Amino acid sequence: MKFGLIPINVGVTAPEQIITTVQTAEAAGFESAWTFEHVMMPVDNKSKYPYNESGDLGVSPDTPFFDPLITLAALAAHTTTIRLGTGVNIVAQTNPLLLAKQVASLDLFCGGRLIFGAGIGWLQQEFDAMGVPFARRGARFDDYIVAMKKVWSGDIVEHESDFLSWHGFKSYPLPAQKAAMPIVIGGNAGKIFQRIAKYGDGWFIPPSAPTLMREQLVELRKVCESEGRNYDDIELTSLWDPKGGDDSLKELADLGIARAVVMGGGPDMIKLVGDKFIR
């Protein structure tokens, strides 16, 4: 089992705290460190957070969200082995050509350690503030992922769609991992399984009970078969609470989860996981 830490860029007041936390995790044997992304938090949130029963993200508008890509770029200079993941970046609300350039540059700076976590987004007021339509965001996401992969291929880019008109250009440098950049798709609603099967290398699974997760994985396997995709090529990442101990970790392993990601926690938690579960 690989172990990750999330979110490293939220609720922190000083950049030095982020760097120290991830260096501590790297020394403890954590495989990866992950960011969240929101460019704003509305004072009066009108959107339902989809990953808990309350529908409340539970974050105040003045909570710091350090930019994920800039944060990971800084960490690239202060770490050597730990993988750096976006968990997840909201692809549908951004400019995909600029994002492709940023991701490629970051992957080079971190020596090919980047894991590109990608999501559709749920916060309509954020889309409004970014000047991007909230409608058809799923179709927009699909199109952007296909287009970004073309940019990373190094070939002349030709891409005409409902959302983009790209013709006759290249964008260099290419990522260190080139077109093999791992794309981990987050979410559990809508056409998520089709998206993973078509475009993803992994699934970042939102908080789920093991019984529900098992059902979801059965469905993902079926969709992979219908899309001609090898289910075993999909790397599964799930949140994990160390308080559950070995039994909860075994449950994840039995489901085929490859990476257990710890939510929050400071140096004491990092040391506990490192000493008890990693070493």
Residue 111's SS3 state is coil
At 142 the pLDDT is 98
- Mean pLDDT along residues 99-124: 98
Please tell us whether the domain made up of 34-240 is placed in CATH 3.20.20.30.
Answer: yes
At 265 the pLDDT is 81
* pTM of the predicted protein model: 0.96
pLDDT of 229 > 90? The answer is yes
Give me the chain's average pLDDT, please.
Answer: 96
At 26 the pLDDT is 98
Residue of 58 and 99 predicted with greater confidence: 99
Q: What does the domain layout of the chain look like in residue ranges?
A: 34-240
pLDDT of 102 > 90? The answer is yes
Retrieve residue 17's tokens. Answer: 């705290």
Could you tell me the sign of the dihedral formed by the alpha carbons of 32, 7, 27, 265, in that order? Answer: negative
What is the distance between the alpha carbons of residues 16 and 49, in angstroms, rounded to a whole number?
30
Helices assigned H by DSSP within 110-183? 124-130, 137-153
At 56 the pLDDT is 85
pLDDT of 60 > 90? The answer is yes
In 3D space, the residue among 140, 136, 143, 171 whose CA is nearest the CA of residue 157 turns out to be 171
Burial class for 226, CB neighbours closer than 10 Å (0-12, 13-18, 19+): exposed
Question: Side chain identity at 194, as an amino acid letter?
Answer: Q
Per-residue DSSP letter, 259: E
156-215 pLDDT per residue, tens? 999 999 999 999 999 999 999 988 899 999 999 999 999 999 999 999 999 888 999 999
Residue 22 has φ and ψ, to the nearest 5°, of -75, -35
- Mean pLDDT along residues 244-270: 94
Whether residue 18 contacts residue 79, with contact meaning beta carbons closer than 8 Å, is answered with no
- Mean pLDDT along residues 121-143: 98
Q: How confident is the model at residue 279 (pLDDT cuts 50, 70, 90)?
A: confident
257-268 pLDDT per residue, tens? 999 999 988 899
pLDDT of 55 > 90? The answer is no
At 146 the pLDDT is 98
